Amino acid sequence: MSYRIYQETGDARGQSLALLSIGALYRQGSDFSAALKYYGQAIDAYAADPVLSVSLLNNRGNVLTEMGQYRRALTDFRRALELVGRISNPAFEARIYGNIARAYRGEGAPNAAWQAAVRGMAIARAADAITALNQLQTLAGRIAADRGDFRTAVRLVDTAFEDVDLTTTPLTARDNHRNAYGVYAAAGETAKALAHLEALDRLNEQATQLTTSTKTALMSARFDFQNQELRIARLQQEELRRNVAFERANARFERILFGSIAAAVAVLLALLSFGVVTLRRSRDAIRRANVDLAATNAALEKALKAKGDFLATTSHEIRTPLNGILGMAQVMLRDESLAPATRDRLDIIHDAGVTMRSLVDDILDVAKMQSGNLSVERVPTDLIATVEDLARLWRRQAEDRGLGFVVELGDVPRWVEGDPVRLRQILFNLLSNALKFTPSGEIALRVAATGDRLSIAVADTGIGIAPDRLEEVFESFQQADTSTTRRYGGTGLGLTICRNLARAMGGDIIVSSAPGQGATFTVDLPLVTVAPEVVGTGPVDRAARAATLAILERNPITRGMMRTLFADHVDDMAFLDDAAGLLDVLALGSTNTVLVDMASLSAGSTDADGILSMVVAEAHQRNLRIVLLAREQDDIAPPCKNVTLLQKPVSATQLIDALFVVGKGRAPAVPLVPNAA
């Protein structure tokens, strides 16, 4: 009954369990053929549970062993042995080895049987499975006796029955007594053999009673089943008789209504014809609408792509002159002879340019995200230095506004794998928002490591966010309140970029907040520790001032910045437009330092890789120093030790260190030559 219920409900595991129970009943009744059939059906019904599969295979193997089909039994035992390793059950594994040994013994392979028994005893002893160990010891003793090693056989059986009352052993010890009797009888120890024979007779009588009761129960169940089938047949016969009577009455009724039905059919055919015509017209209209919708979707995709391309192109074009403004402002600010009023005006220009460049960078990042071109690096990153640099930058601004600034560095590694530029961008945006929306109180930056995850939390005591607006703040051009833009400014892109960057780095950003109680933004990232970078600290190369510096740069704004920036470090600079000019200058032999902008090299040459290889070869032969300025999308690795690769944006300090200083131990400064330059 339970099997049918499981079958109707589609519960395959329940069906397998029910068939297992039925097979066990037939095995107890010594009906091995029936037990074998039900065990096979149970194995075929469900194989997703390894514990159930091991039990079924082991039981079927035991039935096959009792039927004398040892090879088939060994096949099932080996399959069970493969599965039992997945469930980590040493006692079960030891029993399977015992069953394998019993099958090998029945097949006449005592050596293989002995090896399986020894393996099973080792597993049972390690797992402290006493019952399985005793069974394996008596079986191993019987196998040892078969091999003629009576001393080992008697020792194993004595150990298995040590301190055991032979008059009270349970039915499960019947095989143990049978094996003990065989060992003692073969070894000539008649008294011990008779004691186990008496115990075996007692247990055989119990087994006979159990088998008889089981067979009686099975016969009763079969009889009840046949009675049920007979009653069902009688009910079906009665139902058939009633159906015949109903059909006769129904036939009379159909003849009476035939005329009415014929008329109704005629009307229905007319209605169906009208419906078919109407349906065809509707289908054509839907088809035309789908075509229009597909065309609209295609146009929308093109418009979105055009928007992304426009944003990316416009951002790059805006950044080029903007970088020139910022670069020249930085260069002018380095002039110590500036009047204070002029320096203040230049500071205002520089701050406004930085703000505008930040907005352009945000728009460019959003365009990359929408086009799927956002990428992150996996390089060694000094986590503690990155956090401390940002803390120094924002602590003074917080203190100027009367706010507290707390930094808590937990037990975190210094060097981790990540993208330092993107990490600084995320924390910069979060700290900027915290300072913007906190009129009083404090801002906290907390870093902690838990297992293989890194947590960086930025908490403030500011205006907070309503619970129903927590997720909306991560959408593009969205802020927690429509009045926020008017009061605090901003485009609403920062948090969108932060979350997308965090997810691209394998993590996420979550927020918890309440109105008037501040907000906490937590950056969750994977934590992968790496070896620290080797940083050189060599002395300044004073001979570089007298050398010629060759610069391949096509942008006139960037040239002006570089000319002013490098004036204090080199007496002679040569600006070149293309690779041919660079090779001509190198041929003169007076150049010992070369700066190459990869964008300018690609724009002025059809074989940029070939030209670069020639320049690198020249550098290797003459011990020239070459610095390459690469964009984010350029895939370039330093070809030799004389070549330094800098990825835009770079700072004035980085450029000077790379060109005129041996070793690079300074912290990064404000970017001077970004991607667009």
pTM for this prediction: 0.40
Q: What's residue 17's pLDDT?
A: 77
Q: What's residue 523's pLDDT?
A: 94
Q: What's residue 312's pLDDT?
A: 63
Can you tell me the distance from the alpha carbon of 364 to that of 319, in angstroms, rounded to the nearest whole number? 10
Residues pairing with 407 in the sheet: 445
User: DSSP string covering 174-206, please?
Assistant: HHHHHHHHHHHHHHT-HHHHHHHHHHHHHHHHH
**pLDDT single digits (tens) 42-90:** 787 777 778 888 888 888 888 888 888 888 888 988 888 888 877 778 8
Q: How many CB atoms lie within 10 A of CB 589?
A: 9
Q: What's residue 416's pLDDT?
A: 92
Chain region(s) in the chain for CATH 1.25.40.10 = 2-212
Half-sphere exposure of 133 (CA within 13 A, CB side): 15
Given a cut of 80, whether residue 355 has pLDDT beyond it is: no
Given a cut of 70, whether residue 536 has pLDDT beyond it is: no
Task: Give the right CATH number for 377-526 from 3.30.70.1290, 3.30.70.1050, 3.40.50.300, 3.30.565.10.
Answer: 3.30.565.10
- Find how far residue 560's CA is from the centre of its chain: 49
DSSP state for residue 540 in the 8-state scheme: B
Check if the beta carbon of residue 157 is closer than 8 Å to that of residue 184: yes
Given a cut of 80, whether residue 319 has pLDDT beyond it is: no
Q: What's residue 217's pLDDT?
A: 63
Task: Compute the Cα dihedral for 423, 424, 425, 426 and give only its sign.
Answer: positive
- Find how far residue 609's CA is from the centre of its chain: 38
Q: What's residue 3's pLDDT?
A: 64
**pLDDT single digits (tens) 548-584:** 788 988 887 788 788 878 877 887 888 888 877 888 8
Check if the beta carbon of residue 480 is closer than 8 Å to that of residue 494: no
Which phi and psi (to 5°) does residue 185 adopt?
A: -65, -40
Check if the beta carbon of residue 434 is closer than 8 Å to that of residue 407: no
Q: What's residue 479's pLDDT?
A: 54
Q: What's residue 442's pLDDT?
A: 92
Q: What's residue 545's pLDDT?
A: 36
Element (H, E) at 505: none
| pLDDT band, residue 413 (cuts 50/70/90) | very high
Q: Which residue has the higher pLDDT, 446 or 646?
A: 446
Can you tell me the distance from the alpha carbon of 569 to that of 595, in angstroms, rounded to the nearest whole number? 14
Residues pairing with 373 in the sheet: none
Check if the beta carbon of residue 62 is closer than 8 Å to that of residue 76: no
Q: Averaged over 661-668, what is the pLDDT?
A: 44
**Residue 579: which residues within 8 A CB-CB, separation 6 or more?**
552, 601, 604, 605, 608, 611, 615
Chain region(s) in the chain for CATH 3.30.565.10 = 377-526
Q: What's residue 2's pLDDT?
A: 63
Token reading at 206: 């119990």
Q: What's residue 370's pLDDT?
A: 65
Q: What's residue 358's pLDDT?
A: 67
Given a cut of 80, whether residue 132 has pLDDT beyond it is: yes
Given a cut of 50, whether residue 547 has pLDDT beyond it is: no
**pLDDT single digits (tens) 367-390:** 666 666 667 788 888 899 889 888
Token reading at 73: 């039994």
Chain region(s) in the chain for CATH 3.40.50.2300 = 542-673
The position carrying tokens 């600084």 is 424
Q: How many CB atoms lie within 10 A of CB 632?
A: 13
| pLDDT band, residue 675 (cuts 50/70/90) | very low
**Ramachandran category for residue 661: left, alpha or beta (phi over 0 → left; psi -120 to 50 → alpha):** beta
| pLDDT band, residue 307 (cuts 50/70/90) | low
| pLDDT band, residue 638 (cuts 50/70/90) | low
Query: Mean pLDDT lowest for which of 179-183, 199-203, 547-551?
Result: 547-551
Given a cut of 70, whether residue 456 has pLDDT beyond it is: yes
Can you tell me the distance from the alpha carbon of 436 to that of 536, in angstroms, rounded to the nearest whole number? 39
Token reading at 420: 């330092």
Check if the beta carbon of residue 338 is closer than 8 Å to that of residue 467: no
Task: Compute the Cα dihedral for 261, 264, 270, 271 and give only its sign.
Answer: negative
Q: Does domain 542-673 have CATH number 3.40.640.10?
A: no
Can you tell me the distance from the alpha carbon of 450 to that of 296, in angstroms, rounded to the nearest whole number? 49
Can you tell me the distance from the alpha carbon of 565 to that of 670, in angstroms, rounded to the nearest whole number? 14
Q: What's residue 524's pLDDT?
A: 94
**Residue 110: which residues within 8 A CB-CB, separation 6 or more?**
104, 143, 146, 147
Q: Averaged over 357-372, what is the pLDDT?
A: 68
Edge-to-edge strands of the sheet including 591-597?
A: 572-576, 548-552, 591-597, 625-630, 643-647
Can you tell me the distance from the alpha carbon of 532 to that of 383, in angstroms, rounded to the nearest whole number? 11
Q: What's residue 584's pLDDT?
A: 81
Q: Exposure string (b/e) for 339-370, b if CB count within 10 Å is 16 or more?
A: eeeeeeebeebbeebeeebbebbbbbbbbbbb
CATH number of 2-212: 1.25.40.10
Q: Is the peptide bond before 649 cis (omega within 30 degrees of 0)?
A: yes
Closest among 315, 527, 503, 319 to 413, alpha carbons compared: 527
**pLDDT single digits (tens) 590-637:** 888 889 888 888 876 777 777 788 878 877 777 788 888 887 666 666
Q: What's residue 379's pLDDT?
A: 86
Given a cut of 70, whether residue 485 has pLDDT beyond it is: no
Average pLDDT, the chain: 79
Q: What's residue 328's pLDDT?
A: 73
Edge-to-edge strands of the sheet including 519-526?
A: 404-409, 442-450, 453-460, 519-526, 508-513
Which phi and psi (to 5°) does residue 252 adopt?
A: -60, -40
Can you tell me the distance from the alpha carbon of 279 to that of 533, in angstroms, rounded to the nearest whole number? 73
**pLDDT single digits (tens) 264-306:** 888 888 888 888 888 888 888 898 888 888 888 888 777 767 7
